[in-house]
Chain A
Amino acid sequence: MGGVVGIYGFSKEWRMARFLYYSLLALQHRGQENCGIVTFNGESLVQYKAEGLVDQVFSKPETLENLPGWVGIGSVTSTPEEDPSKIQPVIVSEPVPVALCFDGKILNLKELAEKENLNEDTDAEFLAKLFSIELEKTGRPTEAMSNLMMKVKGAYSLIALTGKGEMVACRDRFGIKPLAIGSFGFDYGVVASESCVMDVIGADFKNDIQPGEMYFFDAYSIERKQVLESKPKFCAFEYVYYARPDSIVNGKSIYEVRMKIGEKLAEEHAVNKGEVVLGVPETAIPFAVAYSNKTKTPLGIGFVQTGRRIRSAIKPTEFERIVGVQLKLNPIRSAIAGKVTVLIDDSVVRGTTTKNTVNQMRNKMGAKEVHVRIGSPRLVAPCPFGTDVPEKDELIAANLKTEEVSKVVGADTFYWLSLKGLVEAIGIPRKNLCLGCFTGKYPLDGEKNG
């Protein structure tokens, strides 16, 4: 998982590093392990990247001051990298210098690496190398990126920078990962994983980059090209969990979708005598608000967070996830004690965090009953496209029936949102969504079968 941003200033007096920094802060929820920025200083590509959260990595003022230039790209990822040079955006200097970052996963890496005689480690390094080779071959960034898009299979929302300061951004034919475009007056264009970036840096969100589409920016033009036929298979999990509620993804407001999910939960599995509804912060808050509105069950605030905002579900180790959840969810006794509570969360992966929360509510805070409602369908399959969903044997829903899950987490009743309910809440036709983690059927299978 990750978040990407690229900013292209239309005049050279702009210094974009600070804009990139705040863009990455706005994308921090998409990846909290490491981050980096690469800018073009007028002559060459300069970089700064490290392990850590965005404000930790760029805590010293000189880190941004040492990244001059009117064009640059940046990324955050949730994948730990031991070797700092592998942190995105990666820079490749041979045969021609390029920098590249992307959100997604390449599926035909092995096959392609053999064919192209490449031995790069990570997807990002491989893509950067391939782009560099194609760029040397064609001499034109648009052609080089088109060739790359035709060769690579998988999910990618990608932004690259050439050694001459040209910027290219593209999205795979399924548009699995989000990618948006915006601008600020006559001054700069911006491409980013989510539209919330535009709000944070004061730019205007214009549109989603369409599946299979490419944008090219240089000193005297912006080009848009439909390189691959658009076959939308937008990731449904973005709506449930990943994207920020102030973003618009694939033309749909995340906030609105989450409110609809809450309504659907109320329609499908209302708790009859619920006395208070509590949403697990932060993702599940809109679900709880809408559930409360629909069922007229009073809404409460159940938990207070300690320390930094951490997205516990995408932390790489079990220990970090538990620490994350425990710090994030300090329960408020008065909201819970003696009440029939409806606890709403966005998803259940392994069940451990839900179990932890329910136990606290029942055993320590004295909840009378705890009814759990989940704003997504049963999570039964991993994600081949780079979303951090673990393998099947780690997914509680893939292994236990709902009644058993209920017992494991200690709930009085436990329900998932139906798949139909999710699709309706998103408001995009089912055929245009990737629901792989809920069904085990992925868009690429269809392609293979013809």
Chain B
Amino acid sequence: MVRKTVKVLLVGEAAREHAIAEAICRSRLDPKLYAAMKLNNPGIASLCKITGGEVILGDYQNPEFVVETAKKHHVDFVFVGPEEPLFRGVSDELEKEGIPCIGAKRKPAELEMSKAFMRRLMWKHRIPGRLRFMAFSNVEDAIAYIKEYAESVALKPARQAGGKGVKVIADLQAYLTSEKTHVKEEHAKAIDEKYMKDYTDIEDRILIEERVEGPEYTLQTFTDGRTVKPLPLVQDNKNAFEMDIGPETGGMGSIAGKGMLLPFVTEEEYRRSVEIVKSCVRAVEKETGEKYKGIVSGQMMCTVSWGPTIIEFYSRLGDPEAVNVLPILETDLIEICEAIIEERLNKIKMKFKEVATVVKCIAPKGYPEERNLAKGHPVHINEETIKKRGCKVYYASTNLQPNGKIISGGSRLVEIFGTGKTIPEAGRKVEECIPYVWLEDGWGVFHRSDIGSEQLLEKRIEQANLIRAVYKYRAKKGLIGKTVEWIPKKGKIILET
């Protein structure tokens, strides 16, 4: 049977979308790639050109623009990379025009958009891996709560705000509580005035969650609303600098494999993580009446309270996490997309190359706190040499100019992907490619040389073993999902976690 060309419109322009674009273009179904982008990502632009598609620059967060573009080019379906277009109803508007979309509709996407909705959902449906939380619709109430209950908490914008504005404060030394309380109050104000400033689409403003600690990992999955198909687990590294020091970034690099597990996650923890994501997908449909179709990823942590625990949900693939897994996906991505659209994902067998992968991000100095300093520099990327060394470049915040120059956009420049028999082997390969990316005007770039190293991996394993021993002890005592306290003059209290 001869099939006609499959036309795909990809929305977004980060390294994640570059990896999606590449996986689409690997399809045996003669793909033609169209890309709706704000910045002209050189990697995606090149794939559009090769497949005979086109780059359409514009504001893809605007559903009208996406629908018009899709209609104009008669695409077979749209693949939405980032979350914000989903929150603004791109998927819903496309459906009205009969154009299928890989990406959740507005209501199911609330699983990511509203962190308060997500927590309420998990509590209502008694899904394991939930955390205690309080949601506030005004900053005064949040501050009053902070003042009265000084404790270890995570303060978050109640809505997904481009991954920014989360602050986790361990408040364990009574003698430092005054300073921690001050920072919590200031941050609650910052959430209200800065991070939530542009958002009026949900009622809650500030979320205060119990703070947990443990090794984190991302479980990315495809779903058609009935079946959930997991991708290999990935761990991202959020601190800007080596040894997990420095401010939070969107991620400085990530590790995976080989196989579906990470070296510090057990088979059983993996199985339970998948179960949690499945339960949430079912719960979303019950709650919203809409099937969750597209991508759902659990940003997870192994904690003493539960073992696998949900920190946040993504209605998209992670970045850089997508870059670990899409290049080793052996199943045809367009076939997967069609199966999602037609709700027959259960028939798809997901296959991945049996290798470990490491992704390292290179960012201009200034990222993440002073992005205006990181922006506007001419970028040099010696892609040929990196390829010769067996690694691949995925373009991130880079803007291809009409004159062929590439200019930095203020966020991470590129993500370099490499494989190996083990994570450290892949890490070493990627590390050797770092010198082939620089800024032509001499402005500095940085990356984390420790990502993928034996040393960092050992630290993660050590931490996971510690946490595992505690949650197993708690399980033995029947304490999973609850805390037993004894309060003088009040007596025994069982708190649900």
Contact = CB atoms under 8 A, between A and B. Distances in A.
Contact of A219 (B176, B245, B369): B369
A220 B179 contact: no
Interface stretch (A76-84, A179-187, A394-402): A179-187
Interface of B is mostly: mixed
Contacts of B241: 221-222
Contacts of A224: 242
B181 to A, nearest CB: 11
A202 B247 contact: no
Contacts of A202: 170, 172-173, 176
B15 to A, nearest CB: 21
Contacts of B486: none
Contact of B243 (A18, A181, A220): A181
Nearest to A186: B248
Interface stretch (B63-71, B182-190, B341-349, B420-428): B182-190
Interface string A183-196: 11111010000000
B365 interface: yes
A221 B367 CA distance: 8
B365 A221 contact: yes
A186 B243 contact: no
Contact of B373 (A13, A220, A222): A220
A186 B178 CA distance: 19
A14 interface: yes
B244 interface: yes
Interface in B229-245: 238-245
A187 B187 CA distance: 12
Interface in A168-223: 181-187, 189, 200-202, 204, 206-207, 219-222
Q: Contact size class for B?
A: 20 to 34
A19 interface: yes
Interface of A is mostly: mixed
A10 B242 CA distance: 15
Contacts of B169: 185, 187
B446 interface: yes
Contact of A18 (B176, B186, B247, B365): B176
A264 interface: no
Given A185-B168, A189-B246, A22 B366 contact: no
B175 interface: yes
B444 interface: yes
Given A22-B175, A186-B239, A219-B369, A14 B245 contact: no
Contacts of B183: 13-14, 187
B465 to A, nearest CB: 17
Contacts of A350: none
A22 B173 CA distance: 10
B246 A22 contact: no
Contacts of A371: none
B176 A11 contact: no
A183 B175 CA distance: 18
Contacts of A14: 179, 183
Nearest to B171: A202
Interface centre among A184, A201, A220 (most CB of B within 10 A): A220
15 contacts: A13-B183, A18-B178, A22-B173, A181-B243, A183-B245, A185-B170, A187-B183, A189-B245, A201-B176, A202-B170, A202-B176, A206-B243, A219-B369, A222-B242, A224-B242
* Nearest 8 pairs of A and B residues by beta carbon: A13-B186, A186-B248, A183-B245, A206-B243, A10-B247, A222-B241, A220-B370, A220-B366
